[in-house]
Structure formats: structure tokens, C-alpha cells
């Protein structure tokens, strides 16, 4: 429980979907009132229904709603909120918004604007990590201005190289270049993509590591100078730099490497005086690891760390924002294994393009070791305005194999009708020899889909069970109608016999 004088009594959640519901639940556990904001498309969303108060922001798109920082701040002040939790995405890593919240006398539940600025700029963060002694992937420490400069830098680094946007994330503005003939086209494409996505077209180059694994470390820092790490998450099963399956701990990281990576992550966070929850991401290749970037927010996959360490990271973020220490978290040790599948409204047979529609049928799995983080409900419309993630499916077990088998059960019991999902592909991946042995890298999913010509085996029952139900109902109505006709005919025949008998009696036994 929170102490009676804890300064945060009401929190505005500046987000939507499953992360908004996730934050709401931690607030309820802590006895803190909640305020939801919503777009026109989300007026019936679960986070709106669950919050103590809810206020409309405007239109459907993020620019019309969840990115309206000034409007969100005005609502927070008007309703008497003490703090704002940004979740992930939208305004979560917007330093100007964090500063505006603090300037308005409210608490921003997240890191400082300074930490966001340094770690949000890939070039600035590389320089900061080099200064802090954190290993980084060989490459540029300054942005390249044009394709010619990129070609010169690539020749010095040595092909293959990776062109990366200095700002932003989410896989945008990234291209792998295997030889000099590709560099000009790749630079123009990636720079233009970064400019459109982030308003910043600056690029830099890194050495492209062969068959790397994507390993990230969860860190947590408070206002008293304490910084802790909570082990690693394996995030290598991804497509187009978007993660599909994560697990904790990683099947390839031994205890010695875990301690080295944890110490490097803490050093990275300390270099920017980090406060709150954050994630330091590394590439691991041939026994060595290199700093990739730091996400200055709560991660989508934080739930598997919570399961393994028995910690509520959202509650810790709130406590830290209220000035409490994380000393009680010292000594937490990992137990068991957790696997997460991101359930996305996507069509794997059509290059994972978003699948839109209305959720017509819904069956969530349950049982031992099952956790579902979602805001999906029957009748909900999946719109084109936001990310395609529907839910985070989490399986926990005493060891990796038990967690894997439980996730298989989750995916087999799951049914979502009305939209196509990534569940079938995840089910296949979990049964591959490579996954069972923990022998995969960041390119495995793409190779897997290519080998199967992007036509995964469908294991689900028909997506639209309502069509089946409607057919059954029609047959039932038809048969019921036939029974009624027989019954009516029988009744009519009986009535006619009764009338005939009455007439015979009336006319002395004859019927005219």
C-alpha cells in the first residue's frame, strides 16, 4: 500500500489500448483514481469504461487526439490530476511534453526530458555510451549529410552496413546495404522515410552484424540515485524490425554474460541520470554484445520481466514519480521462464498487412501460467488509425519448456473472429526445432516465411463463426417451420373432423 501522504492521488493516462488498461489496473491496486482520454474512434474503448473519469480529445487520428499534448495537459489540470502516465508510443518519449507537464506543476511518470533527448538521438546516444565505456556497434559518431558521405563512411566501416535514422524508432528509416552499388538508393529512401516519420532525415551508419540476436535489459532508477537491472529479454523473433515473440530469460545468455550486460545497461542509464523504467537494447553476436539504443519508457514486453521477477513495473514507476525509493527491489532474483506473443490484427499470408474489421467472436484462453494483457472486447472495431496489436499473450512456467507448452495451449485455445491475426504464425514458430533449441536470430522469421512462401498453415477454426451460427440457425428455423406446418395441418384436420361431426348431428346424420 502507498503511504497516506503519497503525493499522487489521481493519474491521467495519456494513451489507449492495452497499455492504458494495464496502467489502470496498477492504479486500482494502489488505490489511485484514474482519468482516461480518448479519440472519437475509442469512445467505447475499455480504458474509457474502466477509468474513474474520461474526456474526449477529438478526431480519430493520433494527430487529432493522443498527440495533442496541450489538450491533454489542459484536461489534466482541469480535472485535478496530480500526474500523467504516457504509456508507450504517442507522447511517451516527447521531452517537450514531459517538460510541459512538470512546468504545469504535475508529475511526469517517466524519465527526464534530458534523458529522452540524449537517448532518443541515436548519434548522441552512441557518443554518450562511448564516453561511459559501454560497447557500441562499430560505426559513425556523426551524421552523414548525403549519399556520397554515406558511401565514404561505408567504405571505411566495411560492407555490409546498416543505414539508420538518427531520430525515431519502430524500424523506420533503416536499410541494410550489402555493396557500394546500393548505397545511394538506400540512403535516399531511408532518409526520406525518416524525414516523413520523425521530421528528421539525418542518417548514420553501423557495421551490420551477421546473424545477431536482439537482447534487451530492463532497468529501473529512482530519484535517490538507485539504479537496478532486472535481467534480459530475448527479442530476436521479429519481422521488419517489429517484434513478434519475446522470452525471458534468453536461452543463450549465461549468468556471467547476464551480469556483464546488466552492468553495461546500468552504466548506460547512469550516464543520463536515468529515473523510472527503461530498456537498454543490445545486439549479441558470437559471444559479444553491443549497445543498440535505449527506450526511455515502459516497453511492450515488460510483462515477461514482471512474471519472472515478481515485480509490478508500472506500480514502481508511479512510486518513483512520487519520490519513493526502489530499495525494496534489491535482491529480487529471476524464477522460471516467460514467453510473450504479440497478437496483431495482421494477415501473415499477405505480407503481414493490417487486418481491419469488427471483433465478432472472442474466446480468451485461461488456466495455470496464463496472462492476457488486452483491451479487446466482442463488438470492438479494429480501425486503421492505430497500431495493429490486439493483445499480449504471456505464458509463465517453471522452465522454458513448460512456458513453451503453455503458450502452445494459449494459441490453440484462442479464438478471435472477424479479423485475421498473427496467432497461426506464432504457433508454427514455437514448434520449430530452432525455437525449441533456442537457436534463432533476428533474421529467422523472414527466412522461415520465405521457405514457406508466406503461406503458413492455418490451424484455427473458421474466423467468422457467426456465418456458421447463422447457417445453423437458418436450418433450425427451416426445420422448426416445417414442424409448425405439420402441427397446423394436423390441428386443421382435427378441427375439420369436429365441424363435420357437429353438422352430422345437426342434420340428422347427413352432411350437406
- 431 near 408, Cβ under 8 Å? yes
| Dihedral in degrees, nearest 10, Cα atoms 375, 380, 383, 387 | 10
- CA–CA gap between residue 420 and residue 331 (Å, rounded): 43
CA max distance for the chain: 122
Instruction: Pull the grid cell for residue 423.
Output: 496467432
Cell 525518416 belongs to residue = 194
Please give the full DSSP string across 466-507, using - where no structure is assigned.
HHHHHHHHHHHHHHHHHHHHHHHHHHHHHHHHHHHHHHHHHT
3-state secondary structure of 70: helix
| Coil, strand or helix at 428 | helix
Distance of CA 424 to the CA centre of its chain: 18
Catalytic residue, chosen from 22, 107, 213, 297, is: 297
Cell 497499455 sits at which residue?
19
Q: Which three cell numbers stand for residue 165?
A: 535514422
Q: Please provide residue 303's backbone torsions phi and psi, each rounded to the nearest 5 degrees.
A: -60, -35
> Helices in 6-121 by DSSP H: which ranges?
17-30, 46-50, 69-79, 95-103, 113-120
Active site residue 49: no
Q: Alpha-carbon torsion 292, 293, 295, 296, what sign?
A: positive
**Catalytic residue numbers, as ranges:** 297
Amino acid at each position: 500500500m502507498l503511504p497516506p501522504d503519497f503525493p499522487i492521488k489521481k493519474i491521467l493516462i495519456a494513451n489507449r489500448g492495452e497499455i492504458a488498461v494495464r496502467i489502470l489496473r496498477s492504479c486500482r491496486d494502489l488505490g489511485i483514481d484514474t482519468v482516461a482520454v480518448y479519440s472519437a474512434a475509442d469512445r467505447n474503448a475499455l480504458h474509457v469504461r474502466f477509468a474513474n473519469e474520461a474526456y474526449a480529445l477529438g478526431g480519430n487520428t493520433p494527430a487529432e487526439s493522443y498527440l495533442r499534448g496541450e489538450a491533454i495537459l489542459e484536461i489534466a489540470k482541469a480535472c485535478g490530476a496530480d500526474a500523467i502516465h504516457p504509456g508507450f508510443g504517442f507522447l511517451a518519449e516527447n521531452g517537450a511534453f514531459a517538460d510541459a507537464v512538470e512546468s504545469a506543476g504535475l508529475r511526469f511518470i517517466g524519465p527526464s526530458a534530458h534523458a529522452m533527448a540524449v537517448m532518443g538521438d541515436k548519434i548522441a546516444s552512441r557518443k554518450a555510451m562511448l564516453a561511459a565505456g559501454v560497447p557500441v556497434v562499430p560505426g559513425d559518431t556523426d551524421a552523414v549529410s548525403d549519399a556520397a558521405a554515406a558511401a565514404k563512411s561505408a567504405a571505411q566501416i566495411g560492407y555490409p552496413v546498416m543505414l539508420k535514422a538518427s531520430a525515431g524508432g519502430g524500424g523506420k528509416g533503416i536499410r541494410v546495404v550489402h555493396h557500394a552499388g546500393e548505397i545511394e538508393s538506400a540512403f535516399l529512401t531511408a532518409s526520406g522515410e525518416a524525414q516523413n516519420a520523425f521530421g528528421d532525415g539525418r542518417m548514420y551508419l553501423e557495421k551490420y552484424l551477421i546473424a545477431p540476436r536482439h537482447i534487451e535489459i530492463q532497468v529501473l532508477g529512482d530519484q535517490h540515485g538507485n539504479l537496478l537491472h532486472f535481467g534480459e529479454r530475448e527479442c530476436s523473433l521479429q519481422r521488419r524490425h517489429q517484434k513478434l515473440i519475446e522470452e525471458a530469460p534468453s536461452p543463450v545468455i549465461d549468468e556471467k554474460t547476464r551480469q556483464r550486460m546488466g552492468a553495461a545497461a546500468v552504466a548506460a542509464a547512469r550516464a543520463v541520470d536515468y529515473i523510472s523504467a527503461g530498456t537498454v537494447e543490445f545486439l549479441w553476436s558470437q559471444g559479444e554484445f553491443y549497445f543498440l539504443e535505449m527506450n526511455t519508457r515502459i516497453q511492450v514486453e515488460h510483462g515477461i520481466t514482471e512474471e519472472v521477477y515478481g515485480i509490478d513495473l508500472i506500480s514502481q514507476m508511479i512510486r518513483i514519480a512520487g519520490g519513493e525509493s526502489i530499495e525494496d527491489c534489491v535482491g529480487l532474483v529471476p524464477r522460471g521462464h516467460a514467453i510473450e506473443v504479440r497478437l496483431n490484427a495482421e494477415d501473415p499470408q499477405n505480407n503481414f498487412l493490417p487486418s481491419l474489421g469488427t471483433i465478432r467472436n472472442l474466446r480468451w484462453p485461461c488456466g495455470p501460467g496464463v496472462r492476457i494483457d488486452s483491451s479487446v472486447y466482442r463488438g470492438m472495431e479494429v480501425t486503421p488509425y492505430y497500431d495493429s496489436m490486439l493483445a499480449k499473450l504471456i505464458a509463465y512456467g517453471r522452465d522454458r519448456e513448460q512456458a513453451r507448452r503453455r503458450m502452445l495451449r494459449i494459441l490453440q485455445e484462442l479464438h478471435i473472429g472477424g479479423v485475421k491475426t498473427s496467432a497461426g504464425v506464432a504457433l508454427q514458430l514455437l514448434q520449430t526445432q530452432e525455437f525449441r533449441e533456442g537457436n534463432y536470430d533476428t533474421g529467422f522469421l523472414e527466412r522461415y516465411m520465405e521457405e514457406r512462401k508466406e503461406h503458413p498453415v492455418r490451424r484455427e477454426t473458421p474466423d467468422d463463426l457467426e456465418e456458421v451460427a447463422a447457417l445453423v440457425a437458418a436450418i433450425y428455423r427451416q426445420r422448426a417451420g416445417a414442424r409448425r406446418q405439420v402441427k397446423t395441418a394436423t390441428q386443421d384436420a382435427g378441427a375439420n373432423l369436429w365441424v363435420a361431426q357437429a353438422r352430422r348431428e345437426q342434420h340428422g346424420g347427413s352432411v350437406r
